[in-house]
Structures are given as structure tokens and as C-alpha cells.
Amino acid sequence: MNSNSDVLVVGSGPAGLFAALVAAQRGKTVRIVTQGAGSLAICGSNIDVLGYAQGQRIDEAPWAAIAQLAPEHPYSLVGEHSIRSALHCISALCAKAGSPLSHADEEKNTLVPSIVGTLKPSWLCPASAQGNSLLAARRVLVAGIEGFKDCHPALVARQLKRYPELKQASFQTVNLIMPPQPRKRTLSPLDVARFVDSPEGLAWLCRSLRPYASTADVLVLPPVCGIEHSGSVMATLGKEVHCPVVEMLSIPPAVGGLRLRAILCRELAALGVNIVENATIVRAETAGKQCLALISKGTGGERRYTAKHIIIATGGILGGGLNMSPTAAQESIFGIELPLPEVIEDRSQEAVFGDHYFTRMGVQVNADLCPVGADGAVLFNNVHFVGRALGGYDYATEKSGLGVAFATGWAAAHKV
């Protein structure tokens, strides 16, 4: 079977879904082929743009630091206009879906607490976070949920207190008790968020938090404020509880990314974008500098997908877009060789957030996001790489994951 479209996107992580959406909004026929649900199913909904540069936390506008990034960094390649447009576009989508995102301040990063009590500089956060209300607070309530293995309010409070920004604040902690108690599995934020999506769940959360509104300036919670209805949950909390609520970043199964995923998927369905799920692209047919078709493996044999333009959003090692063995590193569809330090020890460093080769490893591209070889020459004119498949950045250290995914997705959708 041969299927044709203007644009073919491989991968359904944030970069692929967003690139497909923007291309479809621009009137292109788009098809997505993907294996797996992509990392939105496990990541947070805070859109990081740039949290650290040269080891320094960026509290103010990240734009000056972005301008200083190396020329091969994806941000340098797509430019500030693409980054801003992408963020504007995703904000508009979330607002339209009733789950608005907001900045702390038009031109500042927001410090978001994590479930282990660290502060992460991020850019767009669920609007309920009401900017840096945590930092402005004198009295902080950290609430966990009875039965959560991964969130200990006392630990979070102790850790947060170590930050100079929160030295003056007083902390109280509580464990809320969710009425429906699972019997055979450990409670996760996902369970609570799903409960809170229901009217009973929302009423429970309002009832549980209200008593603290008079004794705290901010309520810090795990990400439990709904998934499908997170927008109206946040709005109701605002009306009923009268105290800003800040959600902590949590570990998978996470909630925030699922919110974004639901919004993107709904919009894609409305735009008539077809998604071919559970299909792995196994190879490419190329002629000179053109990719003619991608071949997938599914039931009953192979299928051939043709398109004028191809966007590769297959992620890194985790997503399956890059492969590394002791002797070689390759991009997984076209087999583009990635330079690899000879000595294994040189591929990583001792410090966890050190300058590792493997976390920056990825496909090198030009300003059109087309892959280039070691000599800088374009490999394929109609293939554009986006998201974590790209080299030249380290999202975990920089805190730039969703920012790069959306900015490059937006830029690629404008090249097709």
C-alpha cells in the first residue's frame, strides 16, 4: 500500500505532534507515522525554554542567553522569532482548549518546585501557578497525598527552605486523604488527577484545600489538578479555595504531559490529520539528495509512505531516533553516522549533569533543519529533523526540552 501526503511526520512526541499540527494549520495534508506514544505521555506540562547556560541558572529572560548559544544549537539555527512564535502558538492552543499556560512575568523564567524539593527554571506553566507565587509567599503549605510513595511533604519543605529565595518563608505540611483508595497498586499523581477530573474528585480537592487558604499564601501540590478538565479544575480551585495553587513537577506516570498531549491530539483530529500508530519506519528510499519514500513495518507486510516533505521527530536514545553501540552511533532511519569519541570514557563525565557527549549527541542540521554530513554538505533537501533527534543541545542540563521540541517543530513546519 502506498500513501501520499504533502508532509509526512515520523514520531508522536511533542516535536512530531506539534510540527504536524502547525503544518496542517498551514493547509498541508499531513500524516503521522509513529511507534509508541512519545515522551509527552511521561513528561511534565511546564514548557522549559532555557533554564541554565554555562552552569548558571537563568532567572531573568532567557533570550539574552539564547543569543549566546553555540551556532550549532537548535535555538541558534531556528532563531528567536521561531522560538517565540512556537511558544505563542502552543499558548494559544492551550488557552483555546481552556487550559491556559502563563508566564511568571512576560520576560522572566518561573521557578517551579519539583517533587523532591528542587526549583527548576521553566518558561510557561499551567496558569494556576500564577507566576512566581511560591517565591512571593511568606507562608507555604506543601500538601502530599496519603499513599504517594514519591512525594514526602516534609522532605519537599526541608529542601525548598535551602533556597535563598525561600529562606524567609514558613512551611506547613499535610497529607490529604483521597476517598477512593486503590487496594492493589501504589497511588500515583495520575490516579488522583483522574479522580479530580470527576465532579466528586474536584469537590474533594476544594474541600481538602479550603481550610489552608487562611493560613498559607500558596498551596504546593503534586500534579493532581485533572487532565482532561485541568483548565476548569484550575478555575474552580481559584474560585473556591482563594489561594494560589502551584503544582510540583513529578516523575512518570506524569500528568502534565498528558494534558498537552490530549490538547494536541484533539486539535490534530479536528484538522483531519491521520495518525498511523504502532508502525515503525524501518528504512528510507532515497535518490541523490531527495528522500522518495519511507517504509514502515506493520501487520501484513511493509507499507510505503511518500510525501513532498518529511519531518523526522523520532527522539533520542530513549525515543528510538538514535542508536548507540560500543563502536558506533547512528540515526535510526537513514543510518546517518554520528561522530563518536573513540574512548568510551570520553562519551560521558562523572558529574550527573556534566557535559556528556551522549546527551548532546544527535543529527547535525543546517538552518532549514535538513541533515548535513561531517563536511557540512546537505544530505537530503526534503528531510527536516526536529526535537531530541537533533544534536548540539542537552535538554536535561539546560532545561530546554519542550522549548526545543516546539521551536524546531514550528520552524520545520514553515519549511514545508
Partner 1 sequence: MAKIHYNPDACIACNTCVAQCPVAAVNADFPGPRITGPASQRFRIMGNIDEETLHFCANCKNCDISCPHNVPISAFNMIARAEFTKKNPFSLRDWMLSHGALLGRKLGLVPAWLRNVGMLNPLTRRLLDMLGISASAPLPQFAAQTFKQRMRTYPQPASQRKVALFPGCYIDLYDPQTGLDLVWLLNKAGYEVIVPNNFDCCGLPMVANGFMEDARANARSNWAELSSWCAKGIPVLTACPSCNLMFNRDLAEYFPEIATGTAALRDAQEFVLECVERGELALPAPDPQAQPMLYHAPCHLRAQGLGLPGLSLLQAVFGKAVRNADAGCCGISGSYGFKKENYGIAQSIGQPLFETITKSGVALTTSECGTCRVQIMHGTGKPCLHPLSLVRRRLELQH
Ligand X SMILES: Cc1cc2nc3c(=O)[nH]c(=O)nc-3n(C[C@H](O)[C@H](O)[C@H](O)COP(=O)(O)OP(=O)(O)OC[C@H]3O[C@@H](n4cnc5c(N)ncnc54)[C@H](O)[C@@H]3O)c2cc1C
Q: Which residues bind partner 1 (CB under 8 A)?
A: 1-3, 31, 33, 35-39, 41-42, 180-185, 190-191, 194, 228, 252-254, 258, 265-266, 269-270, 272, 274-280, 296-301, 303, 315, 318-320
Minimum CB distance to partner 1, residue 188 (Å): 8
Minimum CB distance to partner 1, residue 42 (Å): 5
Using the structure block, give the residue that is written with the C-alpha cell 518558561. Answer: 123
The Cα–Cα gap between 407 and 83 comes to: 5
The Cα–Cα gap between 35 and 38 comes to: 8
Total residues contacting ligand X by CB under 6 A comes to: 38
Task: Give the cell for residue 321.
Answer: 531516533
Task: Report the partner that residue 301 touches, choosing among partner 1, ligand X, none (CB closer than 5 to 8 A by kind).
Answer: partner 1
Minimum CB distance to ligand X, residue 44 (Å): 3
What three-state secondary structure class fits 127?
A: helix
The Cα–Cα gap between 50 and 62 comes to: 6
Task: Give the cell for residue 279.
Answer: 508502525
Omega within 30 of 0 (cis) for the link into 253: yes
From residue 396, alpha-carbon distances to 137, 168, 311, 354, 403 in Å are 28, 30, 23, 10, 12
Task: Report the partner that residue 297 touches, choosing among partner 1, ligand X, none (CB closer than 5 to 8 A by kind).
Answer: partner 1
Residue of 5, 46, 132, 230 that binds ligand X (CB under 6 A): 46
Task: Give the cell for residue 117.
Answer: 524539593
Tell me: does residue 117 bind ligand X (CB under 6 A).
Answer: no
Residues 6+ away with beta carbon under 8 Å from 117: 155, 156, 157, 158, 159, 160
**Given the complex with partner 1, which of 21 and 243 has the nearer CB atom?**
21
Site for ligand X in 279-338 (CB under 6 A): 280-281, 313-315, 318-321, 332-333
Site for ligand X in 191-250 (CB under 6 A): 249
Tell me: does residue 261 bind ligand X (CB under 6 A).
Answer: no
The Cα–Cα gap between 248 and 273 comes to: 33
**Given the complex with ligand X, which of 123 and 212 has the nearer CB atom?**
123
Task: Report the partner that residue 270 touches, choosing among ligand X, partner 1, none (CB closer than 5 to 8 A by kind).
Answer: partner 1
What mask of x and - would describe binding to ligand X in positions 9 to 28, judged by CB under 6 A?
A: -xxxxxxx------------
**Given the complex with ligand X, which of 171 and 395 has the nearer CB atom?**
395
**Given the complex with ligand X, which of 141 and 407 has the nearer CB atom?**
407
Tell me: does residue 395 bind ligand X (CB under 6 A).
Answer: yes
Of the candidates 297, 336, 266, 301, the one whose C-alpha atom is nearest the C-alpha of residue 34 is 297
**Given the complex with ligand X, which of 206 and 265 has the nearer CB atom?**
265
Tell me: does residue 33 bind ligand X (CB under 6 A).
Answer: yes
The Cα–Cα gap between 282 and 274 comes to: 19
Task: Give the cell for residue 288.
Answer: 541523490
The Cα–Cα gap between 275 and 262 comes to: 14
What three-state secondary structure class fits 275?
A: strand
In DSSP notation, 243-270 reads S-EEEPB--SS-SHHHHHHHHHHHHHHH
Task: Report the partner that residue 266 touches, choosing among ligand X, partner 1, none (CB closer than 5 to 8 A by kind).
Answer: partner 1
Q: Which of the stretches 53-61, 163-171, 198-206, 398-406 binds ligand X when contact is defined by CB under 6 A?
A: 398-406
Name the residue type at position 26: R
β partners of residue 301 = 298
Tell me: does residue 388 bind ligand X (CB under 6 A).
Answer: yes
**Given the complex with partner 1, which of 36 and 79 has the nearer CB atom?**
36
Q: Which stretches of the chain bind ligand X, using CB under 6 A?
A: 10-16, 33-36, 38-39, 42-44, 46-48, 249, 252, 280-281, 313-315, 318-321, 332-333, 387-388, 395, 401-402, 405
